[in-house]
């Protein structure tokens, strides 16, 4: 398959079942809301080393939030409910409670719940106040700039992490420019986040390593500097490879994001240095969700 002169490999992306939650963070202005969201989702690129994967889903206007203030929606993904609950509590307490003017609310409904303000209320040292509004419980926790408002809990759901595609290009500027455009387009899609820095990964990995303690190591088959030393998947003209990883609340959300991203990259075309689109997988043995590139882009 070719799109605008770009070869689409006959392969699939392999993704994993996860647990996810959404929270709404508001503040006195958009800048402080985004600051809280960025701080909370820092060091959250991969569960391999970070324990959780997270990102800002979207910016919210004042008419889209519970308290009528500007905000952001944040998605967090964990491999288990326990891991997700721990990360949510720690990151909310350390990064949102501490941020001037913020408040935090549930972003998902449903009967499956995770603590949000339920445990953070104890920071109030007995001076916290509970309010029940429309069958939802909120906590008012005294802090030095006034009060921190936190909803009691938020919903969580089954989700999918690790959808991905690889962009193979003549050189790094071509690959980076195309991926930057793809990230901008993909971030318009709801229910997904791109957890890596700027949405782009330079250090794609494979399972295992020559060093027994490492569970993952550099994806040598796609490293241009190792061509000739390993069983490379790159031709002599490919000078750089970048990866975009996407997590979503459903497999359909990931498929839509991947289609959007791949289509955006292919619009750059062979004339702008884009050679191939591929994807990372483990032979279909580890992840429950498979995203065949040819089927998605047909």
Give per-residue pLDDT as tens, 115-158: 999 999 999 999 999 999 999 999 999 999 999 999 999 999 99
Mean pLDDT of 283-292: 91
The pLDDT tens digits for 146-183 are 999 999 999 999 999 999 999 999 999 999 999 999 99
CA angle 76, 80, 86 (to 5 degrees): 60
What residue ranges do the domains of the chain occupy?
2-14+160-297, 18-157
| H or E stretch at 263 | helix 251-268
Fold entry, domain 18-157:
Alpha-Beta Plaits (3.30.70)
Stated pTM of the model: 0.95
pLDDT tier for residue 10 given thresholds of 50, 70 and 90: very high
Residues linked to residue 82 through DSSP beta bridges, in sequence order: none
The pLDDT tens digits for 52-67 are 999 999 999 999 999 9
pLDDT for res 133:
94
For 2-14+160-297, give the CATH class.
alpha beta
Q: CA-CA distance, 184 to 63, in Å (whole number)?
A: 24
Q: CA-CA distance, 210 to 251, in Å (whole number)?
A: 33
Residue 151: name the closest of 167, 163, 170, 135 by CA: 135
Q: CA-CA distance, 285 to 133, in Å (whole number)?
A: 48
CA angle 50, 54, 59 (to 5 degrees): 155
In sequence order, which residues have a C-beta less than 8 Å from that of residue 68 and are 6 or more positions away? 62
Provide DSSP, 9-78: -S-EEEEEEEEEEEEEEE-SSHHHHHHHHHHHTTT-S-TTTSS-EEEEEEEE-GGGSTTSS-EEEEEEEE
The pLDDT tens digits for 78-92 are 999 999 999 999 999
pLDDT for res 285:
82
Fold match, 2-14+160-297 / 18-157: yes
The sign of the CA dihedral 25, 158, 246, 282 is: positive
SS3 content of the chain, % helix, strand, coil (to 5): 30, 35, 35
In sequence order, which residues have a C-beta less than 8 Å from that of residue 277 and are 6 or more positions away? 6, 7, 8, 9, 165, 166, 167, 168, 262, 265, 266, 293
The two three-digit tokens of residue 251, written as one number: 């497999």
pLDDT for res 292:
97
pLDDT tier for residue 284 given thresholds of 50, 70 and 90: confident
The pLDDT tens digits for 194-228 are 999 999 999 999 988 999 999 899 999 999 999 99
283: left (phi over 0), alpha (psi -120 to 50) or beta: left
pLDDT for res 286:
83
């Amino acid at each position: 398959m070719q799109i605008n002169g770009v070869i689409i490999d006959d392969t699939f992306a392999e993704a994993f079942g996860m647990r996810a939650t959404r929270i709404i963070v508001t503040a006195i202005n958009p800048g402080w809301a985004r600051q809280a969201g960025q701080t909370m989702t820092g060091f959250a690129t991969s569960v391999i080393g970070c324990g959780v994967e997270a990102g800002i889903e979207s910016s919210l206007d004042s008419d889209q939030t519970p308290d009528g203030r500007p905000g952001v929606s944040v998605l967090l993904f964990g491999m288990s409910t326990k891991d997700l609950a721990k990360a949510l509590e720690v990151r909310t307490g350390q990064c949102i409670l501490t941020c001037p003017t913020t408040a935090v609310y549930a972003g998902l409904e449903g009967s499956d719940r995770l603590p949000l303000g339920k445990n953070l209320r104890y920071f109030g040292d007995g001076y916290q106040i509970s309010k029940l509004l429309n069958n939802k419980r909120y906590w008012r926790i005294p802090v030095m700039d006034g009060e921190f408002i936190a909803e009691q809990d938020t919903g969580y759901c089954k989700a999918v992490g690790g959808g991905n595609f690889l962009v193979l290009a003549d050189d790094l500027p071509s690959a980076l420019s195309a991926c930057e455009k793809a990230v901008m387009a993909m971030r318009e899609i709801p229910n997904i986040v791109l957890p890596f820095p700027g949405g782009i990964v330079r250090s794609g990995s494979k399972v295992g390593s020559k060093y027994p303690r490492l569970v993952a190591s550099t994806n040598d088959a796609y490293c241009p500097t190792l061509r000739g030393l390993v069983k490379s998947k790159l031709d002599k003209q490919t000078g750089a490879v970048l990866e975009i990883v996407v997590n979503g609340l459903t497999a359909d959300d990931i498929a839509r994001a991947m289609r959007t991203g791949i289509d955006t990259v292919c619009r750059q075309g062979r004339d702008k240095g884009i050679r191939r689109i591929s994807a990372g997988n483990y032979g279909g043995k580890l992840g429950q969700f498979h995203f065949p590139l040819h089927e998605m882009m047909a």
